């Protein structure tokens, strides 16, 4: 028995230079209408783009504010979801 790998097979899928797991991943996949039983490598490019859009703009997709990791920013008081390097930068700014 041989293994046939399709041309567009993705061995590793990184989204916005970070890993997304847990409850937030479930919410994002539900908002993107993606089956939770799919593997990341099975996602089409359009589905990945949809996930990225939701990750970058969670409030536009009615993800509750209490679900976001940046509540009441020290400088502007806004709520947002900060990803990857942005989280390190925000933490550094808060401590300065």
DSSP per position, the chain: ------TT--S---BTTB---HHHHHHHHHHTT--TTS-GGG--HHHHHHHHHHHH-GGGGT--GGGSSB-S-TTT---B---THHHHHHHHHHH-
Q: Which domains does the chain have, with CATH numbers?
A: 22-95 (1.10.8)
Task: Supply the pLDDT for residue 88.
Answer: 66
What local confidence, expressed as pLDDT, does residue 92 receive? 74
Stretch 20-42: mean pLDDT: 82
Choose between 32 and 20: higher pLDDT. Answer: 32
Looking at residue 67, its pLDDT comes to: 80
Per-residue pLDDT at 28 exceeds 80: yes
Name the pLDDT band for 6 (thresholds 50, 70, 90).
low
């Amino acid at each position: 028995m041989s293994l046939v790998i399709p041309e567009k097979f993705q061995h590793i899928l990184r989204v916005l230079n970070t890993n997304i797991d847990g409850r937030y991943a479930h919410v994002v996949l539900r908002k993107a209408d993606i089956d939770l039983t799919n593997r990341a490598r099975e996602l089409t490019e359009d589905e990945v783009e949809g996930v990225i859009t939701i990750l970058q703009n969670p409030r536009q997709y009615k993800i509750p504010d209490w679900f976001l990791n940046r509540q009441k920013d020290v400088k502007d008081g806004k709520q947002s979801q900060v990803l990857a390097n942005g989280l390190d930068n925000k933490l550094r700014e808060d401590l300065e």
